[in-house]
Amino acid sequence: MENLNKTIIVSGCTKGIGRAICEYFAQLGFNVAGFARSKNDIEIMTKVFESRFPNQHFFFTFADASVKNDVVKFAADVLSKFSTIEILVNNAGVFLPGNILEEESGKIEKLIETNLYSAYHLTREIVPHMISKKIGYVFNMCSIASIEAYENGGSYSISKFALLGFSKQLRMETKNKNIKVTAIMPGATLTESWGQTNLPESRFVKPEDIAKTIFTIYSLSDNADVEEIIIRPQLGDL
């Protein structure tokens, strides 16, 4: 039987920003549900969280964000296990650099399916439940690439521009239904995407900073809705 802790859903939960969000909210007493592509990472994460936080419930499972059926099944499983979902974080995504006129065929489909469609499908499954409960907060993990073109952005930037547009539309449609929507736009954040860099940590935002920001926004009064927030490294973009 489910406990009475609040519940957060995080797609792309095992690494980087997603993992930091799960860790931060678990420490605050939340139940956490999430999915990722690596079954091994999911198994390890489940054991770690269940050991560290024995008084909470966790549901971590394998799913491919680019596959609609995977996302829809995950949502159905979550809704069968948790009676109320307070927060949805659409974090699943992939970064593939390139130029529009030169990148290989199929890249834009992969990026749109992973970075945009996963959020679209998961939101359509979860938010109606939130509306029925008259409570809910959706955070979409956009990017600085959602607001400005940059070298080697290619289809990745297109997908992130689209995710910001999705956030704006979703907020407009749900603001009168007690659902809040925030687009988070991080600059360079120290995740595996930067694994080969020789730059110092001081040139990056920490994943934990994103997690803390989400909780701070969530904790504001019912009157306040942070529509968009930009978080860049102190010394500027890379």
Instruction: Give 194's pLDDT tier (boundaries 50, 70, 90).
Output: low
In a domain, 68, yes or no: yes
In a domain, 237, yes or no: no
Type of residue found at 22: C
What percentage of the chain carries pLDDT values higher than 70? 96
In a domain, 14, yes or no: yes
pLDDT score, position 193: 63
Could you tell me if 19 and 207 are in contact, meaning their C-beta atoms sit under 8 angstroms apart?
yes
In a domain, 186, yes or no: yes
Name the domain count of the chain.
1
In a domain, 226, yes or no: yes
Q: With 50 as the cut, is the pLDDT of residue 1 above it?
A: no
In a domain, 84, yes or no: yes
- Strand-by-strand arrangement of the 228-231 sheet: 58-62, 31-36, 7-11, 87-90, 136-141, 179-186, 228-231
In a domain, 45, yes or no: yes
Determine the structural domain holding residue 218 and report its residue range. Answer: 7-231
Q: Which residues pair with 62 in a beta bridge?
A: 36
Question: What pTM value is reported for the model?
Answer: 0.94
pLDDT score, position 35: 98
CATH code where residue 162 lies? 3.40.50.720
